[in-house]
């Protein structure tokens, strides 16, 4: 009986040491990937913000009314939002790659799902930007037309057109990234 207990303890300790010997190098690689990914993400964030600033992206946002909409929503400028988005997409990609290196079977599909999600997210962002621009154009056109036609409450009418455009834009973007698809439909 004592030999069985001793053999079970030896087997358990052998299994533990073998698992630890396999896991420690993977954990070191994971930590390295996450740290390198964070550094790359920070650099890409700064480069993105610099490129957007140098190309006059802020002036374009001002002309299209996006900057005003962001200020009204107490959000940072569009260049800051886009550069932060670049940071998070890159860093989460590295983070998921690091988790994939660990070899946990429950988390194996995360990297693949994330790789499928990023293009949908980018298309959703393009839909939002185009929708904001078109909603502002429709708002201005409706306001001018309603004022010229001397309709009562032209601002309310134009605001309604803009709100409907934004709702349609949000629904299209959510459908594109496959979030709350049944609610959107």
Q: What is the mean pLDDT of the chain?
A: 83
pLDDT at 164: 92
Is residue 162 scored above 70 in pLDDT? Answer: yes
Give the percent of the chain with pLDDT over 90.
Answer: 14
pLDDT of residue 93: 83
Q: What is the pLDDT of residues 115-160, one digit of tens each?
A: 788 888 888 888 888 888 888 888 889 999 999 888 888 899 988 9
Q: What is the mean pLDDT of residues 98-114?
A: 73
pLDDT of residue 107: 67
* Cβ neighbours of 66 (radius 10 Å): 20
The helix/strand/coil state of 103 is coil
Cα–Cα distance for residue pair 138/61, rounded to 1 Å = 16
pLDDT digits (tens, 9 = 90+) for 28-52: 888 888 899 999 999 999 999 999 8
Higher local confidence (pLDDT), 136 or 181: 136
| Predicted pLDDT at 184 | 64
80-106: buried (b, 16+ CB within 10 Å) or exposed (e) per residue? bebbeebbebbbbbbbbbbbbbeeeee
């Amino acid at each position: 009986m004592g030999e069985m207990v001793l053999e079970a303890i030896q087997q358990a300790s052998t299994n533990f040491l073998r698992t630890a010997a396999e896991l420690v190098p993977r954990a070191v690689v994971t930590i390295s990937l996450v740290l390198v990914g964070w550094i790359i993400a920070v650099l890409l964030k700064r480069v993105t913000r610099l490129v957007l600033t140098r190309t006059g992206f802020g002036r374009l946002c001002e002309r299209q009314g996006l900057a005003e909409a962001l200020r009204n929503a107490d959000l940072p400028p569009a260049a800051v939002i886009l550069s932060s988005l670049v940071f998070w997409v890159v860093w989460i990609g590295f983070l998921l790659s690091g988790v994939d290196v660990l070899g946990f079977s429950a988390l194996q599909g995360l990297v693949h799902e994330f790789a499928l999600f990023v293009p949908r997210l980018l298309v959703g962002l393009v839909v939002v930007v185009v929708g904001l621009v078109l909603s502002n154009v429709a708002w201005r056109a409706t306001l001018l037309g309603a004022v010229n036609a001397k309709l009562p409450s032209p601002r309310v009418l134009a605001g309604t057109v803009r709100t409907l455009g934004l709702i349609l834009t949000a629904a299209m973007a959510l459908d594109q990234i496959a979030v709350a698809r049944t609610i959107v439909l």
